[in-house]
Chains A and B, each alone.
Chain A
Amino acid sequence: MSSWFEKHLPKIVLAPSFIAIILFVYGFIAWTAWVSFTKSRLMPKYDIVGFIQYDRLFDSPRWDVAINNLFIFGFLFILISMFLGLIIAIFLDQKIRIEGALRTIYLYPMALSLIVTGTAWKWMLNPGLGLEAVIKNLGFNNFTFDWLINPDFAIYTVVIAGVWQASGFVMALFLAGLRSVDQEIIKAAQVDGVPTVKIYTAIIIPSMTPVFLSAFIVLAHLAIKSFDLVIALTGGGPGYATDLPATYMYTMAFSRGDIGQAASSAIIMMIVVFSVVVPYLYSELRNKNDQ
């Protein structure tokens, strides 16, 4: 008895977590998927009726705005964060004496809650007393910077705050990548008189493809899940101009009481996340098994 117990103890220890993951991750996904094919409104119904919720979703102008915003925000957020992150990493990699201190400063936003970030930028971007007023006081009386309350531009304020939060982290990833490039090759190129810029564009950056891929995955994942930042910065407004899929889902679930719409939008989000992450994880796991 006791030897049977000892033999199976590892499995017994892992079992509760396994059951919890199956139930609370995969079971819940299945539940949400199921409900997304029903007529559920305020209360969940369980009779499958087909794609009616998805039809409603794609007919909804608000969802249209949310998806558009996700593309605008995701594209700019990823592109600018990567660009800034790479630039800073390269500059920091030039034997800067106070590198440690600078790194600490560039990376601290990552420790903050997005609600804090949103609150700070909401105050700085507010047109009456914020940065607009600062520029005006410098003598540029006609300067306007009202993106926060302008429905056509409000989504770009989310980009500004998002980039501020995440670009330091991308810098850290790239810096680690730069340092792992084979120093012998770089030295050889220097001896041959290859100019520094050429060394970066022709040797170092091309060899960092995996780091670019990691940074892309992390940022894309952050972008799709973005919720807190929008809530704190714009509240999804003006109107619903800065809605993202995550805020759409939340509104449907908890203020509109439209469970069907909440479920179908959540499933779409999951499909988008998995279409980015699954190929990456799959290749990572396969590479590991090959070794």
Chain B
Amino acid sequence: MINSVGKNQLNKIILRIFLYLILSVFVIYYLLPLFVMITTSLKSLEEIRTGSLIALPRNITFEAWGTAWSTACTGIRCEGLKPFFWNSIFIAIPAVIISTLIGAINGYVIAQWRFKGANIIFALMLFGCFIPFQVILLPMARVLGLIDLAGSISGLIFVHVIYGIGFTTLFFRNYYVSIPVELVKAAKIDGATFLRIFWSIFLPLSLPITVVTVIWQFTQIWNDFLFGVSFSEAGTQPITVALNNIVNSTTGVKEYNVDMAAAIIAAMPTLLVYIFAGKYFIRGLTAGSVKG
């Protein structure tokens, strides 16, 4: 009896060790690229050529980071990632704010002021979220030219707002739909107007979904490459396009350490958002793709 309990106990422990072992292998698998990126960015080119990919740097140097930030060549210009980092900031911030505000008011209307046809409009927006953007690239390029926004930061903000509305509306609509309609009815009886109800009742309740939406939109826009590469020109490219140009520029010696430093710089903002607001990031991810 005692013996069999002991054996069971032993089996359990072995199983636990096995479990943790497998989970650790996956930890290595997911962390290896990040580890390699960081260590490579801290090595000199000489050390990269003679050393091993997975070795820690012998002499830590931040030279590659300086180069990536301010002197690396993206095509013919050699100003590093800095100007493009700011381009991405100037694209992402207005686009996130505008698309989130539009999504909030749209979601409020669709969820709480159900007029005839509102559901059809919502369905049309929903399908719009799923189109492969290739199907709108050609006409959008022409329209941006017509309204004089071709190759500009404003043009990219415009594009991100237009194609962000579907998702932001979806997020807010799904959030507001759980608020009982009786609330609006009661407020209306008390004489509150459409905008007043939104401003004093719904907005104060909206902090969590606003955080989810802002994070979702920021990640999407910061990481966008397709719109950036299609609708920008030399001075207005977002950071993803600049990073790709640095890595794939064929002139001169291949500086792997600079490539890796540049990649980390480009990844930093969304990575920080993930680390500090991961809960909201995941909520957006699942809401955005599952409930879609």
Contacts and interface: CB of A to CB of B under 8 A. Distances in A.
A164 B274 CA distance: 17
Contacts of B176: none
Q: Is the interface of B mostly helix, strand, loop or mixed?
A: helix
The interface centre, meaning the residue of B133, B139, B262 with most chain A CB atoms within 10 A of its CB, is: B139
Nearest to B117: A11
A54 interface: no
Contacts of B128: 21, 25-26
Nearest to A122: B247
Interface stretch (A72-80, A181-189, A266-274): A266-274
Given A24-B162, A119-B263, A10 B109 contact: yes
Contacts of A88: 23, 26
Contacts of B271: 108, 111-112
Interface in A128-178: 129-131, 133-134, 137, 164, 168-169, 172-173, 176
The interface centre, meaning the residue of A44, A92, A249, A265 with most chain B CB atoms within 10 A of its CB, is: A249
Interface string A274-291: 100110010011000000
Contacts of A263: 138
Given A106-B30, A228-B225, A17 B125 contact: yes
A20 B125 CA distance: 10
B141 to A, nearest CB: 8
B67 interface: no
A9 B247 contact: no
Given A113-B222, A137-B52, A21 B194 contact: no
A191 interface: no
A120 B41 CA distance: 11
Nearest to B116: A11
A254 interface: yes
Interface stretch (A29-37, A45-53, A59-67, A201-209): A29-37
A14 to B, nearest CB: 5
Given A123-B259, A235-B248, A265-B134, A116 B267 contact: yes
Q: Is the interface of A mostly helix, strand, loop or mixed?
A: helix
How many of chain A's residues touch chain B, expressed as a range?
35 or more
Interface string A72-115: 00000000000010001001101010000010111111111111
A96 B19 contact: yes
Given A21-B166, A131-B53, A32 B243 contact: no
B145 interface: no
A224 to B, nearest CB: 6
B125 A111 contact: no
Contacts of A278: 127
Contacts of B291: 284
B226 interface: yes
Interface stretch (B56-64, B200-208, B277-285): B277-285
A79 to B, nearest CB: 17
Nearest to A124: B36
Interface string B120-159: 0101111110111111111111110000000000000000
Interface in B250-292: 256, 259-260, 262-263, 266-267, 270-271, 273-275, 278, 281-282, 285-286, 289-292
Contacts of B263: 115-116, 119-120
Given A107-B282, A270-B131, A270-B135, 16 more contacts: A9-B195, A10-B115, A84-B26, A96-B20, A108-B30, A108-B34, A108-B274, A111-B271, A120-B34, A120-B36, A169-B285, A214-B289, A217-B289, A249-B134, A253-B141, A273-B130
10 contacts: A6-B193, A17-B165, A24-B163, A29-B131, A110-B274, A114-B225, A214-B289, A221-B130, A250-B134, A267-B135
Which 4 residue pairs are nearest across A and B when measured between Cβ atoms?
A113-B223, A111-B274, A10-B113, A228-B225
